[in-house]
Structure 1
Amino acid sequence: MSDADGPPPAGPGAERPARMSPWRFVVAFGTVSLLADFVYEGARAVTGPLLASLGASALVVGVVTGAGEAAALGLRLVSGPMADHTRRFWGLTIAGYALTVASVPFLGVVGVLWAACALVIAERVGKAVRSPAKDTLLSHATAATGRGRGFAVHEAMDQVGALIGPLTVAGMLALTGGDYGPALGVLALPGVAVLAVLVWLRARVPDPAAYERELTPQPQPRTAGRLPTAFWTYAAFTATTTAGFTTFGILAYHLVQRGLLATAWVPVLYAAAMVVDACAALVTGWAYDRVGARVLVALPLLSAAVPALAFTDTVGWAVAGSLVWGAAMGIQESTLRATVADLVPAGRRATAYGVFAGTVGAASLAGGALTGALYTYSIPVLIWVIAAIQVSALGVLAALRTRAR
């Protein structure tokens, strides 16, 4: 049995080499993420209106979606250590994706508010179950392709699905006169494809850790004690810069409330930001493999620029701020994950990804509350406070580089 889904091989002769090049593995996993994003981003684009059509108030929608995001991030504190302890990386990955793709198609047909709410949260729980294990599997292949480039290509493909899914659902709603059943039911097709590609990929590469062992043939322990101090410093940097990161919800609120953009154009702007997200992931991913963590300096700088540009009364500057937001998201979703893999030994990597996600979730909650409160109080104060937070993040990043040296 491979060390990806059971105990480590007894010796070198027991190792099962990967039957796919590292780049093909990354692209295949990117295809899985593309198809999965097709499914769940398509559903998330209409979650609010769907729940409202079943009688949900704004409070219920907020509580349910907030609980879903909390589950998607917070439960990784459990699923990450579980993956490291059981070594069932493929099993947890497939189970998490299965829960997601099974939940979404039923959303449009349950017809009962409590059941729809349960399915919304179940979809997010599926993400929590799979993410640390999935990122660990991917990290093994990116050891050969280059951490930054591998995670960047994966993120770029992921965003293609995030673009296609909402557009498909929107088109189906237009064709059916707003019937959520067919609009969400059609997402069962890419959902089946997700599981088919995963099963095929597991059969081809039962032990992705072989990619990393080929580069570092000396045996590594299954666990490496405590997470490295450098990881905790890095988590502090991530938490600081995330706490000063403006959410797209606040950006969209500003654009609509100030009359800068019609509501119908907000999804179009979001789609454009996702394109920038993918491009930024590719650029910074390649740069990370050449210059290392220094490329992360760009994240606090971009995050500080977002409110300064977006919270103006000029359409051009506000749109530019939203696109800069997309660039910052691209770094968050690719290069930040790549750095975790370089800081933590393979035996504790899923745990690290779980802790990292929990840190990001807590900081995102704090940042959303902070930007929302300061936006109401004073936009100039908001801009200066965010700038100060990002300067602090640069200080923590400098400490991380010093510790790494």
Structure 2
Amino acid sequence: MDKKNDKVKKAAFSFILLMGIVSLFSDMTHEGAASIMGAYLSLAGASAAAIGFVSGLGEFIGYSLRIITGKLTDRTKKYWPMTIVGYVIDCAAIPALALVPNGGWVVACFLIVIQRFGKAVKKPAKDTILSFAATQTGTGKSFAIQEFLDQLGAFLGPVMLFLVVLLKNSTDIFNVYKICFLLLGVPAAATIILLFVAKARYPEPDKFEKVQETSEPFHMNRRFIIYVVGISFFGAGFVDFSLITMHTMKTGLIPTDTLSLLYAGAMAVDAVSALFFGWLYDKYGLRSLMVSTLCSAPFAIFIFGMDSQWALFLGVALWGIGMGAQESILKAVVTDIVPKQNRSSGFGIFQTSFGVCWFIGSWLMGALYDISPTGLIAFSVVMQLAAIPFYYWTGIVGKNNNKGGQDGITESNR
């Protein structure tokens, strides 16, 4: 029996690693694109207002639709088709940007929105199939490995494009950017190929999690609601990196042509912190999320409140810690709270709530930046710290449920 369990755990771990490599190439594609997207749109003729609107609209679509795609995935149980369709849309939109003509910013904006739609389709299904395997290997560790490989790609993508721009050394930067998007077609193709390999090797990933399913619809129990409120506060206080980039460019603390490297550095911190806090979650549960939030909460003080390079780098590092925890622990908690048959709906609700609050919070902090950077700092810190009591409350409700309470889902064994 133990040998059989060991075999299942090894298969689950291999699946997580393979999907992590898929995420690595995927993030090389769209995070590489993100590092030059604002400048590319501007060169294509888009105004600052248009860029801000499309970026916000893309994020809103990318997150808000997940509540629908999550429920659809639960209803149909088509985990692989939803994942594959979403990835194809997501990855195809990026190299297609190389075909945008001069002045074609409207077409470029349309492709950006399409790319975010692809993410909305794939994310609940992808996180759900990962959660099935994660129950065999430790939810915190599994999502942490995913995030580590994901952010390794997010680091390599911008660095690769930085080198392309550096080597080209051309005054026609618009065409150089088009070459960059064309080159991103290579990791995009690798993403799709590896995804089909994963499907062929593991056609039924739901078999990893051996629990009795029911036909009951998903109910937002008290524990899940408390947790969603907590992550919504955290999301509202978490600044989008584009605002950090804009502030850095205005202050001139580092050369403009190295801004992509600043983002790459944040992704590197994200990757390492995801591994650490994922391991911590499997040992200490929600207390690790409280610790990571305490660590990340002051990032705005250093970035927007101090005028020095060391403060900027420290603030970006703390931002990376928060991002790493967000992408690993937050998903692990959903896996432990929501039952197998309803997990795509749970991920959809979680991701929609987090994303919408992140969008609204970043929008508000952008407005506060023009009025008073101090107001931005206060809002960011207070909102993140406000999440901690809700994380603690989530843990308390979970303990009460495990003692025989009727409200909510009991925590899975780690």
Is TM > 0.5 for Structure 1 vs Structure 2?
Answer: yes
Q: Once the 2 structures are TM-superposed, how far is the Cα of residue 175 of structure 1 from its aligned partner?
A: 4.2
For 2:388 and 2:298, locate their aligned partners in 1 and report how far apart those are by CA, in whole Å.
14
| Counterpart selection for 1:335 from 326, 329, 332 | 329
For 1:185 and 1:208, locate their aligned partners in 2 and report how far apart those are by CA, in whole Å.
33
Residue by residue over 1:296-329, the C-alpha shift from the partner in whole angstroms, topping out at 9 and shown as x without a partner, is: 1123312321122222123212221111111111
For 2:216 and 2:147, locate their aligned partners in 1 and report how far apart those are by CA, in whole Å.
28
| Counterpart selection for 1:355 from 346, 349, 355 | 349
**Counterpart check, 1:185 vs 2:182:** yes
For 2:338 and 2:9, locate their aligned partners in 1 and report how far apart those are by CA, in whole Å.
26
1:34–1:162 Cα contact (<8 Å) kept: yes
For 1:212 and 1:49, locate their aligned partners in 2 and report how far apart those are by CA, in whole Å.
45
1:19–1:205 Cα contact (<8 Å) kept: no
| Counterpart selection for 2:16 from 10, 21, 26 | 26
Q: Which moved more, 1:173-182 or 1:395-404?
A: 173-182
Q: Give the unaligned 5+ runs of structure 1.
A: 1-16
1:295 corresponds to: 288
For 2:293 and 2:319, locate their aligned partners in 1 and report how far apart those are by CA, in whole Å.
11
1:3 corresponds to: none
1:104 corresponds to: 94
Two-structure CA RMSD over aligned residues (Å): 2.0
**Counterpart check, 1:226 vs 2:219:** yes
2:19–2:146 Cα contact (<8 Å) kept: yes
1:159 corresponds to: 151
For 2:301 and 2:38, locate their aligned partners in 1 and report how far apart those are by CA, in whole Å.
29
Which amino acid is 1:373 matched to?
A
1:169 corresponds to: 161
Structural mapping, 1:2-401, within 5 Å: 21-111=11-101, 112-176=104-168, 177=170, 178=173, 179=175, 180-213=177-210, 216=211, 219-310=212-303, 311-401=305-395
For 1:266 and 1:24, locate their aligned partners in 2 and report how far apart those are by CA, in whole Å.
35
Instruction: With the length of structure 1 as denominator, give the TM-score of the two structures.
Output: 0.89
Specify the SS of the correspondent of 1:21.
Answer: helix
Pick closer, same or farther for the CA change 1:358–1:225 going to 2, 3 Å: closer
2:411 corresponds to: none
Q: Once the 2 structures are TM-superposed, how far is the Cα of residue 20 of structure 1 from its aligned partner?
A: 6.6
Specify the SS of the correspondent of 1:78.
Answer: helix
2:59–2:359 Cα contact (<8 Å) kept: no
For 1:186 and 1:380, locate their aligned partners in 2 and report how far apart those are by CA, in whole Å.
41
Q: Which moved more, 1:55-64 or 1:117-126?
A: 55-64
Which amino acid is 1:208 matched to?
P
For 2:13 and 2:49, locate their aligned partners in 1 and report how far apart those are by CA, in whole Å.
45
For 1:168 and 1:270, locate their aligned partners in 2 and report how far apart those are by CA, in whole Å.
13
For 2:395 and 2:329, locate their aligned partners in 1 and report how far apart those are by CA, in whole Å.
16
Q: Give the unaligned 5+ runs of structure 2.
A: 1-6, 400-414
Q: Which moved more, 1:99-108 or 1:126-135?
A: 99-108
For 2:375 and 2:114, locate their aligned partners in 1 and report how far apart those are by CA, in whole Å.
39
Residue by residue over 1:258-277, the C-alpha shift from the partner in whole angstroms, topping out at 9 and shown as x without a partner, is: 33323233322221111110
Pick closer, same or farther for the CA change 1:50–1:159 going to 2, 3 Å: same
Instruction: With the length of structure 2 as denominator, give the TM-score of the two structures.
Output: 0.88
Identity, % of aligned positions: 35
Q: Once the 2 structures are TM-superposed, how far is the Cα of residue 225 of structure 1 from its aligned partner?
A: 3.5
How many residues get paired?
385
Which amino acid is 2:41 matched to?
L
For 2:237 and 2:161, locate their aligned partners in 1 and report how far apart those are by CA, in whole Å.
32
For 1:390 and 1:161, locate their aligned partners in 2 and report how far apart those are by CA, in whole Å.
27
